[in-house]
Structure 1
Amino acid sequence: MEATMIELAPAAQEFGFLELFLRADWVVKAVMGVLIIMSVASWAVAIDKWLSLRAARGKAKHFEESFWSGRSIDSLADEFARRPRDPFSRVFAAALREWKGARSGERVSKAAGAETSRELNRMEGGLGLLATISSAAPFVGLFGTVWGIMNAFRSIAASQNTNLAVVAPGIAEALFATALGLLAAIPAVIFYNALSANLAGYAARLEAFGDELSALADRDEG
């Protein structure tokens, strides 16, 4: 019994992740490397966007509380519009330039809308990469699997041996590429959906603020 366990231990170690990678064909290794890079990139983008969106929500809450606290426009301009450091402040500064100039609600609305679009486009940066990884990674992994299985079949044909001990390592290497593809794609899909939903909520708040600025300018003009 002990001899059997000693013999099986090395065989089990041969199917570790590192062993599967090192034993794979160079094309499969390249595919695995690309998938690892994709996975790291998706996590990096997701963490960066989550932190930036969290900070933006905190600054938006502070801005809205200050804006609707009854303070004068001049006081708000001194605090937020002189050196705008967040999307709400930059939209406010852009609208204020038109407000103080022409006092036209339509021009204020256009200025606020244009700045809102610029801010949202900037905040959406990186989501396209997550969408690309989530859709492309499974196919990249599948390519590695197909290539690996072709190599496994060639090895079987060359050795003329269909014993499981000969077939299993090649199949395992091939399937490992698919597993890496899913490992990169699944988190990317989750990150993309979660960040898109959070960004949509923030965008709605920012667009509503632009509309409120336009309404205030209309009342001031009238």
Structure 2
Amino acid sequence: MEETAVNLAAVADTEVYELSIMHLFWQADIVVKTVMIMLIVASVWCWAIIIDKTMRISKVSRKASKFEEAFWSGGSLDDLYDRIGTHPSDPMSSIFVAAMKEWRHASNRALASNGGVNLYERIDRVMQVTLSREIGRLERHLTFLATVGSSATFVGLFGTVWGIMNSFTAIAASKQTSLAVVAPGIAEALFATALGLVAAIPATVAYNKISSDLGKLAGRLDGFSGEFSAIISRQLDEGK
């Protein structure tokens, strides 16, 4: 009896080993294995993008708050521009620097009083272009998250279908209907679907969250551009 129990335990351990994740991967068909590798790489790349975007948006928001505090402190805008210099570190200060650079360029050429309307339009256009460029930089690689979120499940499903087809082929070749014959192949196939979900779910959730955060940031930057345009407009009117 003891020997039988030992043998059963050994068989159980062998079955667990054979159905381990690494064993399922190495014993999979070349097509299923390729699908698994693609999904694993896509998942790793998605997480790299998620971490990078989350940290970058948080950093940009903090710097924008710090810049707004300095901008609305009542100090000289020229002094603020000189402190920031020509290398701003966040989108909001980039918009400010672009506008001030155009303003100074016009003032140096004595255009502020002669062509105030055209100057205002140029400054507003420069701010909008800068805003679009900065948001575009923050949105880089987001399309990859959207693509993985919408297609990874179907890629995993393709691997599942292919693995199940191989399992039915094994049934036909062995002429046995025992579950033990098809269980490894079905397990490999379902593992591909699981990897597809592991890649798709975080990508979809992160894409929606990051897109929402970028939308709020874009609105914040657009609001600053509008307020700064109003300040420039008043100064141009006073200079007439």
Given the two structures, how large is their TM-score scaled by the length of structure 1?
0.96
Q: Which is higher, the Rg of structure 1 or of structure 2?
A: 2
Aligned equivalents of 1:79 and 1:61: distance in 2? 16
**In the alignment, residue 16 of structure 1 is paired with which amino acid?**
S
Determine if the alignment matches structure 1 residue 113 to structure 2 residue 128: yes
Aligned equivalents of 1:83 and 1:163: distance in 2? 70
Matches within 5 A, 1:103-182: 103=112, 104-182=119-197
Contact between 1:81 and 1:90, CA under 8 Å: does it hold in 2? Answer: no
Determine if the alignment matches structure 1 residue 56 to structure 2 residue 71: no
Aligned equivalents of 2:54 and 2:7: distance in 1? 53
Correspondence for 1:189:
204
Query: What is the aligned counterpart of 1:92 among 86, 96, 114?
Result: 96
Correspondence for 2:231:
216
Deviations 1:25-58 (A, max 9, x none): 0111011000000000100011111111111111
* Percent identity over paired residues: 49
* Structure 1: stretches of 5+ with no match in the other structure: none
Query: What is the aligned counterpart of 2:41 among 37, 40, 61?
Result: 37
- How many correspondences in the alignment? 222
Aligned equivalents of 1:155 and 1:35: distance in 2? 26
Contact between 1:156 and 1:162, CA under 8 Å: does it hold in 2? Answer: yes
Which 10-residue stretch deviates more, 133-142 or 3-12? 3-12
Given the two structures, how large is their TM-score scaled by the length of structure 2?
0.89
* Structure 2: stretches of 5+ with no match in the other structure: 113-118
User: Superposition RMSD on alpha carbons, in Å?
Assistant: 1.2
Following superposition, the deviation at residue 186 of structure 1 comes to 0.4
